Chains A and B, each alone.
Chain A
Amino acid sequence: MKKTKLGEFEELVLMTVVVLQADAYGVEIKRELESRLNETLSVGSIQSALKRMEEKGFLKSEFGEASQKRGGKRKRIYQATPHAHKVLQEMKDVRSQLWASMPSMVRS
């Protein structure tokens, strides 16, 4: 496995970006993740994770359209890179292998 670390929270954000596809910008990611996790997140934590992952090459981004709600500021739409897809898949595989080898007691 490649040593570029993907933290737990980062992984969640990354998967949300993949899920949201063309809608994947800051506030929407926050909203989606909040409803799925059932807890409140801050813009700071989401943005920080996004920038970190962009730096590590999991994400790329470009400006989207502006809206009145945003006071005329443009959104930044995020997209997962192929590398990110590969890493997500690897992590899933590792996890499912581990699940498979766990004794049944824990699984139930």
Chain B
Amino acid sequence: MSKEPLTQGNKPPKGLVRILRFFIKGEYLEEIEGDLEEIYYDLRITNGTKRANLKYLFELLRLFKLNLIKSIMNNHKYSVIGLLAHSIKLSFRGFNRYKTSFIINIIGLSTGIGAALLIYLWVNDEYSVDRFHKNGDRLYQVLQNEVVPEGLETDFGSPFILADQIKEKFPEIDHAVTIGNDEMSRRAIFKSETDNKEAQARGIFANSDFFKAFSFSLLSGSVDEVLSPENAIVISEQLAIALFGSIENASGKVLKANRDLYNDSYLVTGVFQNTPENSTLKFEYVASHKMALKHEAWLREWTANGAVNFITLKEGTDLESFNQKFKSAIIDQPYRDDNLLVAYPFEQLYLEGEFTNGEVSGGRIAYVRLMTSAGIFILLLACINFMNLSTAQASKRIKEIGVKKVFGVRRDALVFQLLTESFLITLLSLLVSIGLVNLLLPAVNQVVGKELSLFGTPSTIGLCAIILVAVTIIAGLYPALYLSKFQSRDLIRGRLKRGASDLWVRKGLVVLQFSVSTLFISGFLVLNNQMSYIRNVDLGYNRDDLIHFTLRERDLRQPFLDELNKIPGLISSTNLYGGSIAELRGAGGGFSWGNPIENEEITFRRPQVSYSFFETLNIDVLEGRAFSRDFQNEEQKLMINEAAAQLIGIENIVGKTIMDGNKEKEVIGIVKNFKIQSLYEPLQPAIIRFIPNGNHFMVKISKENQAETLKTIEDVYNQFNSDYPFNPKFVNDEYDQVYQAEGKVVALSGYFTIVAILIACLGLFGLALYNTERRTKEVGIRKVLGSSTFALVKLLSTDFIVLVIISLFVALPISYLLVLDWLNGFSMHYTPDILLYLVVALSTLLLSLTTVGFQTMKTSLVNPVQCLRNE
């Protein structure tokens, strides 16, 4: 190609020419470049450089025709793309050749990645709870720290009338919200008089700041006004459709409520979108709090906690200094002189909602952290597997790499090729695991009670990309460097000098892998044991065959109970206030004896029960008697438990009186301690009051024909025409419900333990496979010389078993310490014994023996002729 010199200024812009040269096919380049230059030259003379440049660019763009540009793959052997294509081709040949290790790698990595993905989805969902409020960063729940002898006790509730008061008092507060507490969040029946439809819904009372502070979006009605009228009610879209057929129809209509909402009429002022799944506040209607105040006088009292209060602080407010002032906001109110208020970030409350002595001490975050580390460890296990297998495979691939080296392939190119291989394996595993996760998700959702979806969370794509890169590098880099570092002459001769360090690395990895799996196994067993311990612990009452349900209509309760007791399969029945025994609420002070000033503030559990309570629940009366129909005025009497008797400290207390508020009541009996709330809390003193007509019923039925008995109870219930359906639950189930969070974690950790074991065993299996294959000749010779099969198996397995034993020694003490730490969070916990660790050790050993033994056995049984002739 002859080039005549040209002045610099005549030439088209260099950058554009370079682009042209990059994408136009080589054989057309000279002609097309020449054409463009000619046009450029002519145009520059007539219209100037600027126009010519523009024209050049325009023409350049129009040159992108399929038959003019270079194809991506063709004739590109020396570019990056060509190299990549070559590497991919070689990788697939490799996969084809070493099928076993390929399959082991895919299974190991895909289960590992799948487990990690599932854990991520769960963790991500946990972190999304309550995080959707626009004001989230300045939204706080008002907690009360009550001064008790042991320090501070944190209470989530607060007075119903708190919000308005503090909003006036503190200029930093933007919105102050009152929401009725659990007890005030009622299931009511609404009737639309215009449309003549009925629907049941559970909702809350709230003041007018509610929709301003929280981001529950309104489909109709304005945020500022919906809760202003006294009889305002805002309903969910679901309820709107149930009652009025459509959202548009609902506004301005009148709803008549049943007795749970005071038999009053309400004006529908707005409709809100159904509360999202990841909100801890769930409700189907929001009624103005003024209505509750109108009908229930006690809510105006400072002594009562009828609400949960929230505030948003104005932007830029310092929480620390605000809390300093806020602390003493209500101590001048009656009976509130040692209630310290504190504003706690609402977004954090879900995950970090347990307090000891006024300080955050954990909560669900513990499970989230546990799961996160489980996910990371499982992924790490899978990576280690891959590393181990690839390096162990070295002896087989040595010739391939040696030939390449002889042909002058540089080390970086080799590393690139090996990394491509691990990238491809990771990519394939990722795809497999995505399929797997998709398949398993419905089952997992059932276990964890969530609605997780792989594609619903956009961040999953990012995570997949991160996993892809991280696993490729973590799992692939060491083998790539390891395999490519040998000298070519050693490689060709097939003589591999493995340094002691390589061996240590590999052994170390196996030890690490088995240590982690041992941690998983022992952790899971302890978790499981603790859960069954909780289920079977002596709670002081017998909850077998115990049914709980409610009857809301007060007048029907006594006649219903009388009717109930006639049922043959029924052993005993009672009713009480505050909920099922499994989740009984209600604690407070107000009792006094001796010197009233000293002890009025001591908190007692305060169950309010009726006749036959102790009989139905099999709680032993130690001294005195239980509430009974044989006596009059039982309302004026109290029973206490052992802990309370000890605390009060009056000798022979039965028959003496203590003050309940300003009433003097006689203590008629002492009962054995029985567990009233979470097992995390120590046994608490309880004072049991008598109230007939409680709304919760506890019924003990005989073991025989339970289905029939239940049916009869339902029939009796239906005779009374309650507005509410019969809702029986076994107390055992309710009890499990209370420990649901732990139950879920146990179930999940069970699955992940299996995954961890599977991965570790796969790794061991792979290693055993290569090791024995390498030693087939040795085995053959030994056999010829008369070695027994057993001796051979022993010979081949010892190395691995030693490694597993070492990892047991590493992992068991660590797991013991971790487990002890976790168990201390429970007031009642079982102590892990030596037996458990024996079981863990034995099962790990057995598993690894089977894994290795299977392979070594196979090798040992081979006819020596076959392995020796193989040359």
Contacts and interface: CB of A to CB of B under 8 A. Distances in A.
Interface of A: 25-27, 30, 42-45, 47-48, 51-52, 55, 63, 66-76
28 contacts: A26-B32, A26-B35, A27-B39, A42-B59, A42-B63, A43-B59, A43-B62, A44-B64, A47-B32, A47-B65, A47-B68, A48-B67, A48-B68, A51-B67, A66-B2, A68-B4, A68-B6, A69-B38, A70-B34, A70-B38, A71-B4, A71-B6, A72-B2, A72-B4, A73-B1, A74-B30, A74-B34, A76-B31
B294 interface: no
Nearest to B66: A48
Chain A to chain B: the 5 pairs with minimum beta-carbon distance, closest first: A73-B34, A42-B62, A44-B62, A70-B34, A48-B65
Given A44-B59, A71-B33, A73-B30, 17 more contacts: A26-B31, A26-B35, A30-B35, A42-B59, A43-B35, A43-B39, A47-B32, A47-B63, A48-B68, A69-B41, A69-B42, A70-B41, A71-B3, A71-B4, A71-B34, A73-B37, A74-B31
A20 to B, nearest CB: 14
Interface in B701-721: none
B11 interface: yes
B709 to A, nearest CB: 86
B13 to A, nearest CB: 13
Contacts of B30: 73-74
Contacts of A52: 67
Contact of B36 (A43, A67, A72, A76): A43
B11 A71 contact: yes
Interface string B50-84: 00000000110011110110000000000000000
A67 B38 CA distance: 9
B673 to A, nearest CB: 91
B132 interface: no
A51 B28 CA distance: 9
A39 to B, nearest CB: 14
Nearest to B34: A73
B37 to A, nearest CB: 4
Contacts of A27: 35, 38-39
B113 to A, nearest CB: 46
Nearest to A77: B31
Contacts of B37: 69-71, 73
Given A42-B58, A52-B67, A47 B34 contact: no
Interface string B20-52: 000000001011111111110110000000000
Contacts of A43: 32, 35-36, 39, 59, 62-63
A29 to B, nearest CB: 10
Contacts of B28: 47, 51
B237 to A, nearest CB: 56
Nearest to B33: A73
A17 to B, nearest CB: 14
Nearest to B39: A27
A71 B36 CA distance: 10
A49 B58 CA distance: 18
A72 B3 CA distance: 5
Interface residues of B, number: 27
Contacts of B36: 43
Contacts of A26: 31-32, 34-35
Contacts of B68: 44, 47-48, 51
Contacts of B4: 66, 68, 71-72
A46 to B, nearest CB: 8
B1 to A, nearest CB: 7
Contacts of A45: 62, 65
A25 B34 CA distance: 11
A73 B34 CA distance: 5
Contacts of B58: 42
Contacts of B11: 71
Contacts of A71: 3-4, 6, 11, 33-34, 37
A44 B69 CA distance: 11
A66 to B, nearest CB: 6
Contact of A73 (B31, B63, B65, B67): B31
A41 to B, nearest CB: 9
Nearest to B11: A71
B35 to A, nearest CB: 4
A27 B67 CA distance: 19
B63 A44 contact: yes
B63 A75 contact: no
Contacts of A67: 38
Contacts of A42: 58-59, 62-63
Contacts of B3: 71-72
Interface string B658-675: 000000000000000000
Contacts of B38: 27, 67, 69-70
Nearest to B41: A69
A99 B329 CA distance: 100
Contacts of A30: 35, 39
Contacts of A55: 67
A73 B2 CA distance: 8
Contacts of A25: 31, 35
A106 to B, nearest CB: 36
A51 B63 CA distance: 12
B60 to A, nearest CB: 8
A62 B34 CA distance: 15
A47 B35 contact: yes
B656 to A, nearest CB: 106
A71 B11 CA distance: 8
A63 B1 CA distance: 12
Contacts of B65: 44-45, 47-48
A96 B7 CA distance: 53
A96 B105 CA distance: 71
A71 B9 CA distance: 12
Contacts of A48: 65, 67-68
A1 to B, nearest CB: 24
Interface core residue of A27, A72, A73 (most chain B CB under 10 Å): A73
A12 to B, nearest CB: 17
A30 to B, nearest CB: 8
B33 to A, nearest CB: 6
B31 A75 contact: yes
Nearest to A46: B35
Nearest to A67: B38
Contacts of A74: 1, 30-31, 34
Contacts of A75: 31, 34
Interface string B494-530: 0000000000000000000000000000000000000
Contacts of B1: 72-74
A83 B705 CA distance: 98
A76 B30 CA distance: 9
A30 B62 CA distance: 14
Contacts of B42: 69
Contacts of A47: 28, 31-32, 35, 63, 65, 68
A43 B68 CA distance: 11
B21 to A, nearest CB: 12
Interface in B756-799: none
A73 B28 CA distance: 11
Nearest to A55: B67
A87 B59 CA distance: 31
A24 to B, nearest CB: 12
A42 B65 CA distance: 11
Contacts of A73: 1, 30-31, 33-34, 37
A102 to B, nearest CB: 36
B546 to A, nearest CB: 85
B162 to A, nearest CB: 75
A63 B62 CA distance: 24
A52 B28 CA distance: 12
